[in-house]
Structure 1
Amino acid sequence: MSRIRLRLGQLFGGLCLALCSLTAQADFAADITVRLVAPGGLAFDTTPIDLSQTVAFADLASGVRAANLGGSGDVSDFMMNDERVFFSGNAIFIRAAAGDFTGGVSTTGYLGANGSPARYEISGLAITGQAITGFTAYAFDGFATSGFTGLQSPAVPASLVQLTSPGTLSFDLSSIVFVPRLGGQSGDYAEFRIDLMTTPVPEPATWLLLACGLLPLLLRRGHAP
């Protein structure tokens, strides 16, 4: 009887840990690298751009930010005032600003080439106890999920985003057209929120504990007269 109680205790412990992993707060678990790629360069300088900057785990909430926000580094040096890429919970936040106004159209000024768009490539995405399976994207001021948008096109913000692997996301910079704001073209911007969708993945130790409790009970049942 005591052995059965022990096995039941192990089984119960494994189930508890598994349930805890399902409900745990999803947070980024490691350093994240932001790469700025513009195969066609800029509207006023067609030299290709390929720069990267790694954000330490402890600094994810600050992220990569423009110099006027206190940022420094290869990607920060190319950012317009108030632009930034930062991370919180299981969400990526991007503020993109207008850098070119050719023909009265406000764009970032970053150019793609040969079918490859200008983009941020964000890699090293890992969430504790979770597997990244998809995303939802918004383009409302204040990184909100509703309200006023600074994005004129594309009509669907999610079309700018591509999950190229479970740990890497691409954000298209060359397809953005900004809504004209009252402050004039130099003040045009949009704020994007990308919420990552995940599936719980219990730690191997959790499955092991669960198996240790369940297997002996199954074996005992199989040998019962």
Structure 2
Amino acid sequence: MTSLLRPALVLLALFTALTGIAYPLAVTGIAQVAVPGAANGSQVTVAGRVVGSALVGQAFATDRYFHGRPSATTAPDAQDEAKTVDSPYNAASSTGSNLAPSSAALAEAVKARAAALGGGPVPADLVTASASGLDPDISPAAAAFQASRVARARGLPEDEVRALVKRNTMGRTFGVLGEPRVNVLALNLALDGLKR
């Protein structure tokens, strides 16, 4: 029995050291050298203070700011996983709602969100959550939809706000992957930076 147990324990210790310690340390070290910003969470700083991540959405609720996509993540204080609220962006419970397109609950949530935005044709990403529930980006159409509200709330010319949206619109990755998008945190920080 000991002749079988000893090699098994040696292999367990060896593979634990390799895959549980050496490999993660090597990958972390390479990432810190190659892409330190991304390796540290793509943190966004203003005046030396971290205000968020370029990769995780935030809940902006006032009319003075552009709003991101609704989030289906569980509220930080929810007692069970079934309790979800719009836009908590709780990264500890990143998930989609798992509601099918045919779901009555999803249809009701979309109708309620559209009504809260004034009804009419509303860009889909303003009334549906992303798969992760943490999407930091919205479509240029979703940003344009909100431009007049933000301009009114800030007392800015709407053309100036729309121009800011255009300047903060990112194209497709490598010119072909994904869709044009606007990072909500970056746009709101640029908005705060406008001199008035």
Q: Please report the TM-score for the alignment, with normalisation by the length of structure 1.
A: 0.22
Q: Please report the TM-score for the alignment, with normalisation by the length of structure 2.
A: 0.24
Higher RCO (C-alpha 8 Å, min separation 6): 1
